[in-house]
Amino acid sequence: MPWLLNQFWIVIRNLIPEEDRKRVQFCTCKNLANYFALDQLPDFLNGTAVASYRKVPEGALTFEKWALKIDFSDKAQIFKEFLDSVDALHNNNNNNNNSSSSIISTS
């Protein structure tokens, strides 16, 4: 844990009842599998989830529609192009490495 969060936790944990303190767990990418099934974790957290974690929930506005709604349209296209390029890079990376690697290093 980064030193700043560690210092914060030292102060806060004394304010939390002991039985509740036991419920607090700090995880790293390496030990998330102790708490979550690998098929529920995305690849950048060393999981095997195949569902898109970037899917827009039903009924939610996409960034493009939101940007148009608040007259942010010039930024919407730039952001969409960025997301498309990240998707392409991610898909290319997965295709080259049999879906076992990720764009983000977790080591």
What is the pLDDT at residue 99? 44
For Cα atoms 9, 11, 14, give the angle at the middle one, nearest 5 degrees: 95
What is the pLDDT at residue 76? 66
Longest dimension (CA), the chain: 52
What is the pLDDT at residue 69? 76
Structure tokens at 27: 């995880």
Write down the pTM of the prediction. 0.39
SS3 for 13? helix
User: Per-10-residue mean pLDDT for the chain, 107 residues long?
Assistant: 80 89 83 88 86 76 76 69 82 62 42
Closest CA to 53 of 67, 64, 63, 43: 43
